């Protein structure tokens, strides 16, 4: 099968009208060209396929939560789950209601509250959080060009009221230990990581390969931990559309409001799509449609 | 590999102490011998393996929700999702809170509210609901010995207050159309289906085989519908322990308070474990532990 | 002061535009002439004043909850508060959410859940509930012409889904003991009581007179019980507008979706206004405005 | 009637066992002698009566919310109600759930969220918030000895996580405008006001006198505003025990976790009781019991 050709055919098959809307809570996201479209796939034996704007960097936003989670899980192992759950939430990504019922323990690390706890955990270990995070990201596929978009990070910091509330609320239950500004500073850098589809696919490939990056040969996490990370992505990675994604795409995945979606078939490949307009659940409209076609065509899903 | 031997070894490896408790909300469940243990697996090419009380019938309870869902999905196809969602709920199986926020649309068909809507849908199609249900169940693997435990059904009917409230509540939003007593009567029969591990594995095998029962050759649902059913089981099948189950077992599955758990690896096999004592989330304590060992040993999970 | 003249002046001062809307969930209420307006006041020494359609009967709806509560309180005394609370709810009148958190104990007897529990209590005492209720109502001021509007009662019964859900839900917590249909039948009759402003003022006058009807001389409840009933009206009588009513009117009161509001100044008088169009909180728009002017003018409020 | 004698008799009649517990979330409150008991009453014609530790200062805590509310109401008039409601909440004093449903508008100014909004409002007006607050407090009865307990204020500041969360949460809805630390600093000073029963009764007397302090002759708020403040106290002043207080005591009142309760009969008197042990709703156990006896004996309540 000529996969590159397939990618272009699938792109041509996308619905003519993109009913999504570009995220606009910060100006840097609102200004992105809504017609951008990129896709990149890489197999565990390192064949790569791509189409469109696959080498153009974009704001990966919440996709980065998987990276910080991986770093924290490396350091805390099972202890981590005392501070953040692994179950889907059934509520919006930034809700405080469930936190109140659950005494400050976020339902999972993919909602904002959980990602903030993960950042709080990491601050206990990292001497230079941003640099250490970049070093980790660079090590995943040996790509040292990846960096933060500092303008995005600054905008995120200026729009942190709800996240600040989440931090203080969890602190009141004893589930936050570092200064709020340090946590937010780190968290906003994390969300402001900029990568292309190609960089994302390569960097997430260890999750399709039992925790070992096929590119660098380096073991990132154990096989069992990989399973846990994939399970969390499967159940909690697509905001309140996990069930829909599981059916339509059938792969563990993680989306971001920058319009990116990473998905992977364990043992096989990792694929990233980027198209900025989001559906009403906050996931890339074309990204969902493309991945659905792709897995239907390729015939692989975990179900 | 001698799978039958493996099953006995895994059973021997279970934690000595079973910290679970047998369900006791109806006397028929409370009286079940807590030491019962059975397991049965069947591959899509129809090799069968078993250990313990694998041929003894037990109350499958909520596992039956997958069967009624399959019947309704056959009849309504995508229309069904207008009346019940496909996303995990994040709340207990019989909560009314989310229903109020979501205007009477249950989050998914595995929580009680959703299963009751499914029964309401089926009553629009079935002339003799209980017989028609049995006929469907019998057709799945050609086993005509499967039946209802009428004592259990009667007890369920006598303990229906909460389910009755769910029905009336959804009716007030226009999402219920049949008489309450008819729905409850049907629902309680459904929950009172009695099967052995072997019967369950064989009956659920179509879900591991793209919708076609390898035993009878009959197409139950399409390949796409199978994917949807498995996705729903993966995300919503284990009450509030879906994330834990996805990690520890890594397969789509469905549990019941009778102590049964069915799980399946698409394209490969279906396995059923039965051990009555339940953990605090309402899932079989030994069942979870056994399946975790099994998938670790066999090396197969979807993640 | 010529109070009759005052009433007509205050009526002339009402805002020209009535921004309220007549209740329309049952046809009998939807058809009421929105221009109807009546007011009637009676002092504890039995001076009476009125204006407009003060002798025309209307559906008193939720105002009747005070009457059934009084009957139940007579019979159960303090025991009643084990089954229904006395605190404001902060949620809509027919919400199930708080019931779930409070294990089936309604926050107060003025929300539907609480009024249904009160009906359930009364069914334990009354041999012929509807007749016994009428007898009680007749006894309050010796007016034997008061009756039910059977058409309204029938419509209410046909729109009982949510109330049925509330009953079953509370039954699942053990806080309901009679058959659902009996409770609903009684409750719907209660809501369908028809009285004029004059009849309501006379019938509620005992609450302004330490529990004794000045008209008949009969002691309905003790002075202490009267205080409890007035406190409940003050805090819970105006749906989610109790605080606004306490400020603007400053009297214990009870409203109904038929457009009536009864209010009373302990030791002094009882006043009833009727104007069908309701504000968005479900209280008579003109009724609120009139009572606000009245207490401002008369200079009496409890604050 | 010899009221001083009555107060001592009522004190002797208190239940022998005080089942309450002293607040312990900050050490300064935990250390207060639980046997302290004081009561002071003052009529609008300035007769004063007292018993016990009525001249000893204690931490007035949430009682101060009425004072800050009065200051904000003076400055904003009806505009204030766009930022904070006037309805009872039905939820604990520091809950975030209702805030989420109501888009950042607190239900009333007596719960923490509402009091924090009031502080935010005042910071827009006051050049030297703490001094200006003290000046206002001093002006109410001309007592210049009233001050803050700085140790309490410091402890409050060190225990502000939940309040900080409330502020950031409301800020995310646009309902907070000043820096968090400034708001908390002011709020914690407010809660740390120290007064005796006598000082509280004298300072709150304007609320029993249509907004005019009988002691200084100064008009604090208008008669209409006084009615609003009393209505808010009546419906929201006693945490989740407003209905119980309305029945047992029957007066508008405000409690604090320092063990103080102020209550007043419009047109008549103001009374303050202080006894540190709190019931499970957070109100002074002896304070409630004493006021109940007092109003029963004196025969005055608003109901």
- Cα–Cα distance measured from residue A192 to residue A183, given in angstroms and rounded to the nearest whole number: 14
Q: Nearest 5°: phi and psi at D52?
A: 70, -145
Select the residue from C77, C231, C249 to test the D interface by mutation, using most D Cβ atoms within 10 A. Answer: C231
Residue D22: per-residue pLDDT: 95
Confidence of residue C92 (pLDDT cuts 50, 70, 90): low
Q: Domains in chain A, ordered, with CATH? A: 3-298 (3.40.710.10)
Tokens encoding C130: 């509807």
Q: Which residues contact C184 (CB under 8 A, 6 or more apart)?
A: C157, C160, C163, C164, C167
Mind telling me how many Å the CA of B155 is from chain C's nearest CA?
Answer: 15
Tell me the backbone φ, ψ of residue C163, rounded to 5 degrees. -65, -35
Contact assignment for C96 to B95 by CB distance below 8 Å: no
Any chain B CB within 8 A of the CB of A226?
yes
Q: What integer pLDDT is reported at residue B192 of this predicted model? A: 97
| D90 in reach of chain C (CB within 8 A) | yes
Identify which of C95, C100, C168 has the shortest CB distance to residue B168: C168
Give the mutation candidate from A82, A222, A243, A263 for the B interface (greatest B CB count, under 10 A). A243
Q: Which residue has the higher pLDDT, C217 or C88?
A: C217
Chain D closest-CA separation from residue C76 CA (Å): 17
| Closest to D220 in 3D by CA, of D75, D38, D7 | D75
Nearest CA in chain B to A226: B303
Is B232 near chain A, with CB under 8 Å?
yes
Q: Is there a contact between D235 and C246 if contact means CB atoms under 8 Å apart? A: yes
Q: Is C48 on the interface with D (CB under 8 A)?
A: no
Mean pLDDT within A79-86: 96
Confidence of residue C81 (pLDDT cuts 50, 70, 90): very high
- What is the CB neighbour count within 10 angstroms for residue A27? 10
First to last CA, chain B: 22
Q: What is the percent of chain C where pLDDT is above 90?
A: 84
Q: Is C5 exposed, middle or buried (0-12, 13-18, 19+ CB in 10 A)?
A: exposed
Helix (H) or strand (E) holding B148: strand B147-148
Tell me which chain B residue has its CA closest to the CA of residue A210.
B303
Quick check: A247 and B241 CB within 8 A? Answer: no
Measure D94 CA to nearest chain C CA, in Å: 15
The reply to whether D168 touches chain A by the CB within 8 Å rule is yes
Q: Please say whether the beta carbons of B71 and B58 come within 8 A.
A: no
pLDDT digits (tens, 9 = 90+) for A213-249: 999 999 999 999 999 999 999 999 998 899 899 989 9
Mean pLDDT of C212-236: 95
- Chain C: touching chains (3 or more CB pairs < 8 Å): B, D
Predicted confidence band at A111 (pLDDT cuts at 50, 70, 90)? very high
pLDDT of C302 over the 90 cut: no
A97 and D95: CB-CB below 8 Å?
Answer: no
Place of tokens 């369908």: C192
The CA distance from B214 to B46, in Å, is 7
What percentage of chain B exceeds 90 in pLDDT? 84
How confident is the model at residue B18, as a pLDDT? 92
Torsion from C-alpha of A228, A229, A231, A232, nearest 10 degrees: 120
CA distance D114 to chain A (A): 16
C96: pLDDT strictly greater than 70: yes
* A123 Cβ contact list (under 8 Å, min separation 6): A129, A178, A182, A183, A186
Distance between CA atoms of C77 and D13, rounded to whole angstroms? 24
A263 and chain B in contact, CB less than 8 A: no
Which residue in D97, D100, D162 is closest to A172 by CB distance?
Answer: D162
Q: What is the nearest CA distance from A153 to chain D, expressed in angstroms? A: 18
Number of H helices and number of E strands within chain D? 13, 8
DSSP conformational letter for D267: T
At residue C61's C-alpha, the angle toward residues C55 and C62, to 5°, is: 120
Q: Nearest-CA residue of chain A relative to D168? A: A165
- The answer to whether C169 contacts B172, with C-beta atoms less than 8 Å apart, is no
Chains linked to A by 3 or more Cβ pairs within 8 Å: B, D
- pLDDT, tens digit, 9 for 90 and up, residues B186-212: 999 999 999 999 999 999 999 999 999
C100 neighbourhood in chain B, CB within 8 Å? 95-97
Closest CA to D58 of D268, D261, D296, D248: D261
B27 shares contact with chain A (CB less than 8 Å): no
Would the pLDDT of A93 be above 80? no
The answer to whether C138 touches C71, Cβ cutoff 8 Å, is no
Structure confidence by residue, pLDDT tens digits, B213-239: 999 999 999 998 999 999 999 999 998
Which residue among C161, C164, C172 sits closest to B162, beta carbon to beta carbon? C172
Within 10 angstroms of residue A79's Cβ, the number of other Cβ atoms is 11
Over range A140-159, report the average pLDDT: 96
Q: Is B241 on the interface with A (CB under 8 A)?
A: yes
Kindly state whether B85 is in contact with chain A, defined as any CB-CB distance less than 8 angstroms.
yes
User: What span, in angstroms and rounded, lies between the C-alpha atoms of A302 and C98?
Assistant: 40
D236 touches chain C (CB under 8 A): yes
CA dihedral (B112, B118, B119, B123) in degrees, to 10, reads: 160
**Cα–Cα distance measured from residue B146 to residue A144, given in angstroms and rounded to the nearest whole number:** 62
Q: Which of C88, C90, C250 sits opposite D227 (nearest CB)?
A: C250
Kindly determine whether residue A87 and residue B240, on different chains, have CB atoms separated by under 8 Å.
yes
* Two tokens, residue C38: 């009546």
Contact D163, D94 (CB under 8 A): yes
**Chain D interface includes C243 (CB < 8 A):** yes
Q: Which residues pair with B263 in a beta bridge?
A: B253, B271
pLDDT band at C263 (very low <50, low <70, confident <90, very high): very high
Q: CB-based contact (8 Å) between A171 and chain D? A: yes
Kindly report, residue by residue over D95-122, the tens digit of the pLDDT: 677 787 788 999 999 999 999 999 999 9
Higher pLDDT, B61 or C296: B61
Q: What is the 3-state secondary structure (H, E, C) of chain D?
A: CCHHHHHHHHHHCCCCCCCCECCCCCHHHHCCCCCCCEEEEEECCCCEEEEECCCCCEECHHHHHHHHHHHHHHHHHHHHHHCCCCCCCCCCCCCCHHHHHCCCCCCCCCCHHHHHHHHHHHHCCCCCHHHHHHHHHHHHHCCCCCEECHHHHHHHHHCCHHHHHHHHHHHHCCCCCCCHHHHHHHHHHHHCEEECHHHHHHHHHHHHCCCECCCCCCECCCHHHHHHHHHHHHHHCCHHHHHHHHHHCCCCEEECCCCEEEEEECCCEEEEEECCCECCCCCEHHHHHHHHHHHHHHCCCCC
Please report residues of C whose CB lies closer than 8 A to that of D299: none
Q: Taking CB atoms and an 8 Å limit, are A95 and D100 in contact across chains?
A: yes
Chain D residues with CB under 8 Å of C266 CB are 302-303
B175, closest residue in chain C (CA to CA): C161
Q: Where are the alpha helices (DSSP H) in A142-255?
A: 150-158, 161-172, 180-191, 197-204, 223-236, 242-248
With 70 as the cut, is the pLDDT of residue A1 above it? no
| DSSP code at position C237 | T
Closest by alpha carbon to A95, among D183, B90, B111, B281? B90
Question: Which of B90, B231, B240 minimises the CB distance to A91?
Answer: B90
Interface touch A232/B252, C-beta < 8 Å: no
Which residues of chain B make contact with C166, given a CB cutoff of 8 A?
165
pLDDT for B74-87, tens place per residue?
Answer: 999 999 999 999 99
Q: Which chain D positions have a beta carbon within 8 Å of A165's beta carbon?
A: 96, 165-169, 171-172
Q: Which chains does D contact via 3+ CB–CB distances below 8 A?
A: A, C
Residues of C in contact with D226 (CB under 8 A): 303
Residue of A nearest to B109 (CA): A243
pLDDT interval class at C22 (50, 70, 90): very high
Mean of the pLDDT values across residues B256-284? Answer: 96
Nearest-5° angle of CA C128, CA C134, CA C135? 85
Task: Compute the Cα dihedral for B71, B72, B76, B82 and give only its sign.
Answer: negative
Q: Is A169 on the interface with D (CB under 8 A)?
A: yes
Q: How many CB atoms lie within 10 A of CB A268?
A: 16
Model confidence at D92, pLDDT cuts 50, 70, 90, reads low
The answer, for A234 touching chain B at a CB cutoff of 8 Å, is: yes
Among D164, D170, D179, D181, the strongest candidate for a mutation testing the A interface, having the largest count of A CBs within 10 A, is D164
- Amino acid B275: pLDDT: 98
């Amino acid at each position: 099968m000529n996969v590159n050709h397939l990618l272009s055919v699938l792109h041509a098959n996308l619905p003519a009208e993109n009913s999504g809307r570009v995220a606009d809570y910060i100006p840097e996201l609102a200004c992105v060209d809504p017609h951008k479209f990129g896709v990149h796939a890489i197999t565990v034996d390192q064949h790569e396929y791509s189409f469109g704007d696959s080498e153009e960097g974009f704001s990966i936003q919440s996709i980065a939560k998987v990276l910080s989670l991986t770093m924290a899980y490396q350091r805390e192992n099972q202890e981590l789950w005392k501070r953040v759950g692994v179950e889907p939430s059934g509520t919006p990504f930034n809700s405080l209601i469930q936190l109140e019922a659950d005494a400050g323990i976020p339902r999972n690390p993919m909602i904002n509250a959980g990602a903030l706890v993960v950042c709080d955990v990491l601050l206990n270990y990292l001497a230079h959080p941003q640099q250490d995070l970049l070093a980790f990201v660079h090590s995943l596929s040996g790509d040292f060009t990846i960096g933060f978009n500092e303008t995005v990070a600054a905008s995120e910091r200026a729009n942190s009221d709800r996240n600040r509330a989440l931090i203080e609320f969890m602190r009141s239950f004893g589930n936050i230990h570092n200064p709020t500004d340090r946590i937010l500073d780190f968290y906003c850098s994390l969300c402001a990581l900029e990568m292309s589809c190609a960089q994302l696919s390569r960097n997430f490939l260890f999750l399709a390969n039992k925790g070992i990056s096929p590119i660098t040969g380096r073991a990132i996490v154990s096989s069992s931990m990989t399973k846990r990370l994939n399970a969390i992505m499967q159940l909690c990675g697509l905001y309140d559309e996990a069930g829909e994604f599981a059916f339509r795409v059938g792969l563990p995945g993680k989306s971001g409001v920058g319009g990116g979606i990473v998905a992977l078939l364990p043992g096989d490949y990792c694929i990233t799509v980027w198209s900025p307009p989001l559906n009403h659940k906050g996931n890339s409209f074309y990204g969902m449609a493309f991945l659905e076609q792709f897995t239907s065509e390729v015939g692989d899903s975990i179900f």
